Structure 1
Amino acid sequence: MTAAQADRAELQIDRPSVADGAALWRIARDSKTLDLNSSYSYLLWCRDFAGTTAVARDAHGSPVGFVTGYIRPDRPRTLLVWQVAVDEAYRGRGLAAALLDGLVARSTGEHRITALETTISPGNSASQRLFTSFAERHGADVEREVLFDTGLFPDGPHDPEVLYRIGPLSL
């Protein structure tokens, strides 16, 4: 067992509750890379999409990382991962990968998903590595295409969002 695996073994990964919404908002805010949604949206997410969201908790039960997602209504075998964030003190331990693997395994069992999608801005190399290494671990292909070009964002300059389609999944 590596030191990173031992560190992760002390953490618990489970579904969020509404009470976790504020902590998820703070982790997202402090990431300095994610588009921050309103605190209200994280509360709703923890209520309405708890089944497709995973939270990592420290020994005290406090959230230290999360991955949010949902099943695409028009593609019920596709899990779209919305955001992944890990508290700065817990980065570099493979926690984001463990959260992603755990959520996909759970979603595959509950929803029989066969594909994963996410969007990543071109400058977010950490997310690019996370999702391409996920695909490699699971022997899946990765397709990329621009989903939302810069001009579609009404609130000022925004990098384009590149859609990553990963599949077929065989977990």
Structure 2
Amino acid sequence: MQAAACVGAFWYVVRSKPHKEAWAQLQLQIKRLEVFYPKLMLPDYAKRRQPVVPLFPGYLFVRLALPDRYHDVIWAPGVQGFVGSKNGPIPVDDDAVELLRRRAAADGVIQAQPKLRPGQRVEVVEGPFAGLVGIIQRPPDTKGRIKVLMQLLNRAVAVDIPLGAINAEWTPIHIG
């Protein structure tokens, strides 16, 4: 096994059973393993809730020394196995995991914000302006509203629209 020669602890990617990431995380933590399960909180201003979704669905990061703790992981409920090659699990770069951990809160949740910039075209998907396309005039404010320039009644009108009512891409924000 390629990783068997490692003396210290390294980060590895573990595949969980479908929709069992949190269960696998709990089972590995019970075995006193360091586990990182990154999640992404997507703002949904229109519905006043913030859904949390896995950043990497079906995968967790586990820090351990192989081969000593190998069986603790593969026999844990909710775990399907390690991600690696035919020679065994492959360690993940510590810097990559630490970057994610710095961006996440203590519970592993990373806040997301819209990838929006002035001049970008957006489509309104909810509310009285649904189906119309406009141009962002000002970035989102602290209340989750964005100013969009729209063509209404043959003239340009600036309208404040909730972020949840426009079609946009979501990306993790940089913290620290």
TM-score when scaled to structure 1? 0.23
- The structure, 1 or 2, with the larger RCO (C-alpha pairs under 8 Å, 6+ apart) is 2
TM-score when scaled to structure 2? 0.23
> If you compute each CA radius of gyration, which structure gives the higher value, 1 or 2?
2
Name the one with the larger helix percent: 1
